[in-house]
Amino acid sequence: MAAGVTVLHRYEQVASHLRHLIESGTYAPMQKLPSVRSLSGQLHVSITTVLEAYRVLEDQGLVEARPQSGYYARGLEPQPRVESQLAVEDPVDVGMGEFLMRYLRDFQRRDLVQFGCACPNPDQLPSARLARCLAKVSRELGPAGNLYDIPPGCEALRVQIARRALQSGCAVGPEEVMLTLGAQEAITLCLLATCQAGDTVAVETPTFYGHLQAIEMLGLKAVEIPSDPVYGVSLASLRQCLEDVPVKAMLLCTSYSNPTGASLSDDEKHELLEILGRREIPLIEDDIFGDLSHAQHRPHAARAFDRRDLVLLCSSFSKTLAPGYRVGWVLAGPRYMARLHQLKLFSNLGSPVLPALAISEFLANGAFEHHLRGCRRFYARQVSQMADAVERAFPAGTRVTRPRGGFVLWVELPQGYDTRLFYPRAVELGLTFGPGPIFSARGRFRNCLRLCAPYWGPQSEAVLWKFGELLQRRR
């Protein structure tokens, strides 16, 4: 073999042919691709080779497998956005109110299809294996497992988190990680570390209602920066807003945002830090969905581009392993870390050590990467199938996002709908959903709703169709 010449394996050649067919539009998004058997015959390769090729393309997010049906082309990356500056309104006090409480209480109901709940389906979680890890670490640690574990928290897990952070482009040591009670506490502590009551925090709109709840709880104000459901927050509008408003911090999901699923590109993450950095404004980066890319590799976090120690990255294992373990973390440099330790200590002394150690054990034996791979494929399929069904079942003129990671879909119904009014009717039909106004401090997005794909399946599909009929009737 000549030096420097790379010889592709047979399956890579097959994958390359198929990639070309998808990229050139020969197979449009959602079209069925040739069956494994027919490709094997046409290309004179084994069934195993074709399956391997499809596996590679699945990992790259270019195809999806549908049970009993075969392989389908997925949509390609969206075209680069054409930036336009959208109006930003004045900062407001936040009041998330009684409706949100009712909505959150409905999450506990096992009799409803939980399209409203951005939590993994418990049937998809590696609960038995985690329970074995918990039993093992509890046995090994003995009575020490019952003691306080003051910040920064369980070192074994912080080492694992620091190792994994490299996948998002962040080279950090365990001293740059502090454990928290889920991402929600991480966000709250970061807001406390960067702002004082009455200060203004920039958020995208629509944004995760948990961000607004934290802002409300701390007596802060929110300034809402318009965000495109496909492309994410408008940097032009942010730039304009910072000319007029004294923003103390920005709180943002940079990858696979909740509720839209939108992500910023690497260049945009870089630019975002430039815009904020010029005014020394810290970014509280919510990266909770970052690991759930539908392709083989996760995107960079904005923190990967941070040269000023101004990014505080918050995340948790709630979307991937066990929301009930309440294990999250902040990844931050020296500028904020000492203050974060204090605030965590003042809040609740520290996080429980046993769930942290159990997850550390799960990570250390390699089970997490395997589990994540399964989650990525699963959610890619769920999201795509659910979006297909929404397009068919909902009123004409409805638009739905098709995110490339995570598991939430943002649905825009034609103007005139008020999704809050449909909520009680949906519960009667047997499902929940996230009405648009809970994702805005100003109660915007009345004609929108968030749907979550973990509970998608043949049985829940029927309930979605009934909901679609209800919307069609408009009563």
Ligand X SMILES: Cc1ncc(COP(=O)(O)O)c(C=O)c1O
Residues that bind ligand X (CB under 6 A): 118, 182-184, 208, 210, 253, 258, 286, 288, 316, 318, 323, 328
C-alpha to C-alpha distances, 460 to 280, 428, 465, 472, nearest whole angstrom? 47, 14, 9, 19
Q: SS3 for 451?
A: strand
CB of 256 to ligand X, least distance (A): 9
CB of 181 to ligand X, least distance (A): 7
Separation of alpha carbons 419 and 281, rounded Å: 35
Nearer to ligand X, 14 or 354 (CB): 354
Q: Tokens in use for 207?
A: 């944004």
Q: Tokens in use for 198?
A: 């009455």
User: Exposed (0-12), middle (13-18) or buried (19+): which is 82, by Cβ within 10 Å?
Assistant: exposed
Q: How many CB atoms lie within 10 A of CB 467?
A: 24
In whole angstroms, what separates CA 126 from the centre of its chain? 19
CB of 71 to ligand X, least distance (A): 30
CA torsion through residues 22, 25, 31, 33, sign: negative
CB of 117 to ligand X, least distance (A): 8
Q: How many distinct helices (H) and strands (E) make up the chain? A: 15, 15
CB of 118 to ligand X, least distance (A): 5
Nearer to ligand X, 56 or 328 (CB): 328
CB of 186 to ligand X, least distance (A): 8
Nearer to ligand X, 184 or 200 (CB): 184
Measured from each CB, the residue nearest to ligand X is 182
CB of 182 to ligand X, least distance (A): 3
Nearer to ligand X, 15 or 363 (CB): 363
Residues 6+ apart with CB under 8 A from 81: 228, 230, 231
Nearer to ligand X, 56 or 233 (CB): 233
CB of 243 to ligand X, least distance (A): 28
Separation of alpha carbons 61 and 297, rounded Å: 9
Nearer to ligand X, 33 or 125 (CB): 125
Nearer to ligand X, 49 or 184 (CB): 184
CB of 203 to ligand X, least distance (A): 11
User: Exposed (0-12), middle (13-18) or buried (19+): which is 139, by Cβ within 10 Å?
Assistant: exposed
Q: How do beta strands 283-286 and 92-93 pair?
A: unpaired
**Mind spelling out the 3-state secondary structure of 10-60?**
HHHHHHHHHHHHHHCCCCCCCCECCCHHHHHHHHCCCHHHHHHHHHHHHHC
Nearer to ligand X, 40 or 315 (CB): 315
Nearer to ligand X, 223 or 284 (CB): 284
φ/ψ of 224, rounded to 5, equals: -95, 120
Nearer to ligand X, 18 or 178 (CB): 178
Q: How do beta strands 200-205 and 399-400 pair?
A: unpaired
Residues 6+ apart with CB under 8 A from 306: 273, 283, 333
CB of 184 to ligand X, least distance (A): 3
Helices (H), 204-248: 209-217, 235-244
CB of 209 to ligand X, least distance (A): 9
β strands within 137-257, DSSP E:
177-181, 200-205, 221-228, 232-233, 247-252
Nearer to ligand X, 390 or 408 (CB): 408
